[in-house]
């Protein structure tokens, strides 16, 4: 193999552990101590981003989840409407493109057939500009998009995407910042603070990787289940979607994600001792709301695995396990941080179930046919 596994049992595990480096590389040379460099998106970006009125983000699979997270961040920092859509849907409807909109496609490989077709269609539709966020410099997507921002994850071999995803989140956080600046929504002081936040991400990921041993034990609780439900709110909702996708892909356990506030509109009916609920509860303005959502689950005898920020007051009991993450983590880096334990948990469940972790059945790394 051109890319060595080293001492790691699987490429996926190696790639999970490469994330601090991959994210640092993706941020490198694009940020100074306290500024996002104008050159980060290339010489044409300034004109392309100026007074932009809306953003359409298109992707598939894990890359789509990165786009969903970016929506929260771009709307927050740039105060501009963002829509996010799966490429295979977008390309077959009649997307209406208002004036001065930016098209963004996200892809690890840059060869996903639906994403590439969506870009080709977008180029005919009168967007202000097209931007590809991609991990493969020589890919079709990069060749054909007007602007590019490369993630620097390095080759990703495991079919289930890990480091490509967190580097996409780093790239998209920079996009949110760039659009916030272009639309004059961010003061130099705020920029300095956001850049400092972003620069902490590699170290935050490194620290989260230390949860490996307890997550391995936790995996034993999930291994015999046929279903699992992931819950989050705000930007943690798409993080939950990505967590569910990882578990599905490599362990073949049926997993779904729900926005925690939607629990009462259906999935609560599924809750019993055979349906583990994995919940994400950072210390944000929604944590109390998630807490009351989880009380509903507890009251119905559901088993909980909670990833919570320190001092959010969750305690383990016979029905719930609590994994603690640091508090005070920036909104910009929190989604990537909460992704790490979910990757490790899925990995360990898959290993216990004896699946082909790096090459799950029926799936391909890059889907180049429709
Ligand atoms: C396949 C892979 C996924 C990936 C998706 C989109 O389904 O198995 O890991 O997220 O394609 O791929 P892309 O290369 O466009 O990000």
Give which of 145, 151, 175 is closest to 164, Cα–Cα: 151
Please give the radius of gyration of the chain, using alpha carbons only, rounded to the nearest integer: 20
Question: How far apart are the CA of 97 and the centre of ligand 1, in A?
Answer: 26
| Model pLDDT, residue 201 | 98
Ligand 1 mutation pick, 150, 365, 369, max ligand atoms within 8 A of CB:
365
Longest Cα–Cα distance in the chain: 58
Write the CB contacts of 351 (distance below 8 Å, at least 6 apart in sequence): 9, 10, 219, 357
**118: pLDDT strictly greater than 60:** yes
**1: pLDDT strictly greater than 60:** no
How remote is the C-alpha of 265 from its chain's centroid?
Answer: 25
Higher pLDDT, 274 or 14: 14
Q: Give DSSP secondary structure letters for 289-323.
A: HHHHHHHHHHHTT--EEEEEETTS----BTTEEEE
Is residue 163 part of the annotated active site? The answer reads no
| Model pLDDT, residue 38 | 85
Write down the mean pLDDT value for the chain: 96
pLDDT tens per residue across span 218-258 = 999 999 999 999 999 999 999 999 999 999 999 999 999 99
User: Measured between alpha carbons, how far is 236 from 227 in angstroms, rounded to an integer?
Assistant: 20
Question: How far apart are the CA of 153 and the centre of ligand 1, in A?
Answer: 14
**With a 6 A CB cut-off, is 62 part of the ligand 1 pocket?**
yes
For a pLDDT cut of 90, what percent of the chain falls above it? 89
pLDDT tens per residue across span 198-220 = 999 999 999 999 999 999 999 99
Phi, psi of 346 (to 5 degrees): -60, -45
**With a 6 A CB cut-off, is 135 part of the ligand 1 pocket?**
no
How remote is the C-alpha of 270 from its chain's centroid?
Answer: 26
Q: State the average pLDDT over residues 36-54.
A: 94
| Model pLDDT, residue 2 | 62
Question: How far apart are the CA of 302 and the centre of ligand 1, in A?
Answer: 32
pLDDT band at residue 370 under the 50/70/90 scheme: confident
CB 237 within 8 A of CB 261: no
The pair of structure tokens assigned to 112 is 């996903």
CB 186 within 8 A of CB 36: no
pLDDT tens per residue across span 294-353 = 888 888 888 999 999 999 989 898 889 999 999 999 999 999 999 999 999 999 999 999
* ipTM attached to this prediction: 0.99
**With a 6 A CB cut-off, is 363 part of the ligand 1 pocket?**
yes
Count the alpha carbons within 13 Å of 310 in the hemisphere toward its beta carbon. 5
Which ligand 1 atom is nearest residue 363's CA?
Answer: 8
| Model pLDDT, residue 301 | 86
Q: Give DSSP secondary structure letters for 234-252.
A: TTHHHHHHHHHHHHHHHH-
User: Measured between alpha carbons, how far is 303 from 221 in angstroms, rounded to an integer?
Assistant: 10
Q: State the average pLDDT over residues 154-182.
A: 97
**With a 6 A CB cut-off, is 117 part of the ligand 1 pocket?**
no
| Model pLDDT, residue 22 | 98
pLDDT band at residue 181 under the 50/70/90 scheme: very high
Sign (positive/negative) of CA torsion 37, 39, 44, 45? Answer: negative
Q: State the average pLDDT over residues 149-161.
A: 97
pLDDT band at residue 156 under the 50/70/90 scheme: very high
Name the pTM for this structure: 0.97
């Amino acid at each position: 193999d051109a890319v060595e596994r080293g001492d790691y049992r699987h490429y996926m595990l190696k790639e999970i552990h490469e994330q601090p480096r991959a994210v640092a590389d993706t941020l490198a040379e694009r940020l100074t101590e306290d500024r996002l460099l104008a050159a980060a998106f290339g010489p044409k970006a300034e004109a392309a981003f100026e007074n932009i009125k809306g953003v359409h983000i298109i992707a598939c699979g894990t890359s789509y989840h990165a786009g969903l997270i970016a929506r929260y961040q771009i709307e927050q920092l740039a105060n501009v409407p963002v829509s996010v859509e799966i490429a295979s849907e977008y390309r077959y409807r009649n997307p209406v493109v208002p004036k001065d909109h930016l098209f963004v496609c996200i892809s690890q490989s840059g060869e996903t057939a639906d994403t590439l077709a969506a870009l080709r269609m977008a180029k005919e539709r009168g967007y202000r500009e097209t931007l590809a966020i991609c991990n493969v410099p020589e890919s079709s997507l990069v060749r054909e998009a007007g602007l590019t921002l490369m993630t620097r994850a390095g080759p990703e071999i495991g079919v289930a995407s890990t480091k490509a995803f967190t580097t996409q989140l780093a790239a998209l956080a920079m996009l949110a910042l760039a659009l916030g600046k272009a639309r004059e929504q961010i003061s130099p002081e705020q920029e300095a603070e956001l850049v400092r936040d972003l620069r902490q991400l590699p170290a935050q990921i490194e620290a989260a990787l230390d949860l490996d041993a307890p997550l391995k034990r936790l995996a034993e609780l999930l291994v015999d289940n046929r279903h699992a439900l992931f819950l989050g709110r705000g930007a943690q909702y798409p993080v939950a979607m990505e967590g569910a996708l990882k578990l599905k892909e490599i362990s073949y356990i049926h997993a779904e994600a729900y926005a925690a506030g939607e629990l009462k509109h259906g999935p609560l009916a599924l809750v019993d001792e055979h349906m583990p609920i994995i919940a994400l509860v950072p210390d944000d303005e929604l944590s109390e709301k998630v807490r009351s959502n989880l009380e509903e689950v507890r009251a119905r005898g559901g088993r909980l695995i909670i990833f919570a920020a320190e001092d959010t007051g969750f305690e383990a009991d016979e029905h719930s396990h609590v994994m603690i993450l640091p508090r005070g983590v920036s909104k910009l880096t929190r989604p990537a941080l909460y992704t790490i334990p979910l990757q490790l948990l899925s990995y360990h469940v898959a290993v216990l179930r004896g699946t082909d972790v790096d090459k799950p059945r029926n799936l391909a790394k890059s889907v180049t046919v429709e």
